[in-house]
Amino acid sequence: MSENLDFLGQLDPDDPKQASQQIANKLRAAILTRRLAPGDKLPSQPELAARYGVARETVKRALELLRAERLIVSRQGSGAFVRAQTQRAVELRPHIEAAFERPHVTIDFAGFSGETLRDALAEALDKVRVGRLAPETIAVRILISDMTVPMALPSRAETQADDPAVRERAERITRRAADGIIDQVTELGDLGLIRSTTVEVRMHRASPLFKLYILNDEEVFYGFYPVVERTVSIKGEPMAIYDLMGKDVPLFHYAVTDDDTSHGTQFVEASRQWFDSMWSTIAYRYDG
């Protein structure tokens, strides 16, 4: 890349951040403002090192930060490029398993029923049972909507209004998933395979519009529930409802980096604050 690189700025000698963090910040800003567009090649490591007056190892550390945020991708022999999509949908299951490689596992979930979490946990917990994973503690918090009270969604399609029969069906799905997670996790503690296991479930009266997973306070997975019209059986009769579809919803991944000002770090922190604010204010105990 030989064109003018003035848009990348210069390092600030008075900035307490490390040079690698400053470089990552400047490249990130160029990517998010489309000065470096999806698919563009980044300046080479020698070019960046010369521009900022630093060693190539410093540039490498800056690029690693951007790679961890999934903003760039490296191609062997070609250099680094801006991802075609700066945030890509990811699969939750392998990240759940990776979280269980830590001695202390924490998982916070907010959403509709937690079915996806229950299924993803099942494989990780099976590996704990056979000794392939061995965390010391597991703490899970689940924040779900209370389907015993009127909701905007799910609803009856014909009237676009709350319907107790529709909610009753949703409540069964919600309780089945929540109770499954409680049983799976607490069983490991009862068997003595984990030193400490806790599962807390709280409910609130807001309709579920998105799902949120926070793993070990370091990673966040976020996805929207599409609203679809479909026909289901309620009390033996077909009924058209507006339903929330969580299966196969794209999840977008954000992770904490060494840079407190990075997009990923800020998103994880905002997610933790939102979850804790809901948990400690309008949420109340689930009676399973």
Q: What is the pLDDT of residue 268?
A: 92
Least confident range from 6-20, 35-49, 87-101: namely 87-101
Average pLDDT (150-166) is 93
Question: Residue 154 — very low, low, confident or very high, per pLDDT cuts 50/70/90?
Answer: very high
Q: Give CA–CA dist 114/246, Å, rounded.
A: 9
For the entire predicted model, the pTM comes to 0.70
Does 167 share its domain with 238? yes
Query: Is the pLDDT confidence value at 96 over 50?
Result: yes
Q: What is the pLDDT of residue 275?
A: 98
Run of H or E including 286: none
Give the count of domains, the chain: 2
Contact 128, 195 (CB under 8 A): no
Does 188 share its domain with 117? yes
Judge whether 195 lies within some domain.
Answer: yes
Q: Identify the residue with better confidence: 260 or 173.
A: 173
Q: What is the pLDDT of residues 189-212, one digit of tens each?
A: 999 999 999 999 999 999 999 999
Strand-strand pairing, 219-224 and 251-255: antiparallel
Does 230 share its domain with 128? yes
Judge whether 4 lies within some domain.
Answer: no
Domain CATH number, residue 175 = 3.30.870.10
The one-letter amino acid at 246: G
Q: Identify the residue with better confidence: 93 or 207.
A: 207
Does 118 share its domain with 261? yes
Judge whether 159 lies within some domain.
Answer: yes
- Domain stops at, among 29, 57, 82: 82
Instruction: For residue 205, give both structure tokens.
Output: 């009266």
Q: Give CA–CA dist 175/179, Å, rounded.
A: 6
Q: What is the pLDDT of residue 17?
A: 84
Average pLDDT (47-53) is 93
Average pLDDT (45-68) is 91
Q: What is the pLDDT of residue 29?
A: 83
Does 73 share its domain with 108? no
Judge whether 3 lies within some domain.
Answer: no
Does 105 share its domain with 37? no
Q: What is the pLDDT of residue 89?
A: 52
Please provide the average confidence, as pLDDT, over all residues in the chain.
89
Give the residue among 233, 226, 170, 250 at the shortest CA–CA distance from 203. 170
Contact 237, 123 (CB under 8 A): no
Contact 171, 163 (CB under 8 A): no
Domain that holds residue 14: 9-82
Does 125 share its domain with 255? yes
Q: Give CA–CA dist 181/41, Å, rounded.
A: 45
- Domain stops at, among 38, 56, 82: 82
Q: What is the pLDDT of residue 85?
A: 58
Give the residue among 92, 94, 97 at the shortest CA–CA distance from 116. 92
Strand-strand pairing, 104-111 and 210-215: antiparallel
Q: What is the pLDDT of residue 90?
A: 60
Domain CATH number, residue 57 = 1.10.10.10
Query: Is the pLDDT confidence value at 40 over 90?
Result: no
